[in-house]
Amino acid sequence: MTQPLWSPLPARPNIRAMKVTVDPVACEANAVCVRLVPQVFSIHEDEEGEDVLAIAGDGEVPAEYADGVRDAVTRCPKMALTLDG
Ligand code: SF4
């Protein structure tokens, strides 16, 4: 039996998932990040009728959106987003 010329990379369980959080005081809900990565960020009304930012998946960023989230963090005009991991 011949060996394949390549093999899939082994799983790397020690790598932590990237997580994004928002400072609700700094965020002005201007939706810059929502336009960049609507799969992760969205604007909702809170119980007082104020627009607030929501982040999907409790902030855990799927790998396919990592670049977009990094872009959103650097473009947020209020520097309200923080990336961990
Ligand atoms: S870009 Fe910044 S200020 Fe605007 S909604 Fe996103 S986190 Fe809030």
Q: Could you list the residue range(s) of the whole structural domain that residue 77 is in?
A: 19-84
- CA quadruple 16, 40, 70, 9: dihedral sign: positive
Atom of ligand 1 nearest to the CA of 28: 3
Per-residue pLDDT of 5-32, as tens digits, reads: 666 655 555 556 899 999 999 999 999 9
Q: Is residue 11 part of a domain?
A: no
> Residue 38: CB within 6 Å of ligand 1?
no
Q: How far is the CA of 16 from the centre of ligand 1 (A)?
A: 24
Mean pLDDT, rounded, of the chain: 89
- The domain spanning residue 24 has which CATH number? 3.30.70.20
Q: Is residue 58 part of a domain?
A: yes
Q: Is residue 74 part of a domain?
A: yes
Give the span between the Cα atoms of 30 and 55, in whole angstroms: 14
Q: Is residue 4 part of a domain?
A: no
Q: Whose CA is nearest to atom 2 of ligand 1?
A: 76
38 — pLDDT class (breaks 50, 70, 90): very high
Number of domains in the chain: 1
Q: Is residue 33 part of a domain?
A: yes
Q: How far is the CA of 48 from the centre of ligand 1 (A)?
A: 19
Q: Is residue 14 part of a domain?
A: no
Q: Is residue 36 part of a domain?
A: yes
Atom of ligand 1 nearest to the CA of 72: 1
Report pTM.
Answer: 0.82
